[in-house]
Amino acid sequence: MPATERCLSAASIIEVFRLWQAGRIPDNPDTWLDLALPSWTVLPMTTPIARQSVLWPWAHRDPADRFIAATAHVERVELWHTDTVLKKLTGFPHRYFVNVA
């Protein structure tokens, strides 16, 4: 069975810290993020991704979400997420999971 590569948008790291600051993640990411990142391929913010993130005619204005979706589109990787707003959008490969937390 071939190994599955796990990818992470660089914007997701911004989102982790934003969620922690908002109290939605209990532990400071500085205590665990460096330990977790070696098992992921962090996809960089590139000019094509930045361009795509603003070109979609979406009402959704969260720049991080747009950037994460654009990363999936440009890099042709399926975005797995629990975001109910992204669930309604098209133009990028994604799979929505119900958040039971």
Q: Global pTM?
A: 0.85
Domain of 21 in residue numbering reads as: 7-96
Q: How far is CA 8 from CA 1, 71, 77, in A?
A: 22, 9, 10
For residue range 44-56, what is the model confidence (pLDDT) as tens digits?
A: 999 999 999 999 9
Does some domain include residue 2? Answer: no
Does some domain include residue 63? Answer: yes
Does some domain include residue 89? Answer: yes
Q: How many Cβ atoms are within 10 Å of 70's Cβ, its own excluded?
A: 25
Does some domain include residue 1? Answer: no
Number of domains in the chain: 1
Average pLDDT of the segment spanning 76-88: 93
Helix axes 63-75, 47-55, angle to 10 degrees: 120
For residue range 9-18, what is the model confidence (pLDDT) as tens digits?
A: 999 999 999 9
Would you report the helix, strand and coil content of the chain in percent, each value rounded to 5? 50, 10, 40
Does some domain include residue 15? Answer: yes
Does some domain include residue 64? Answer: yes
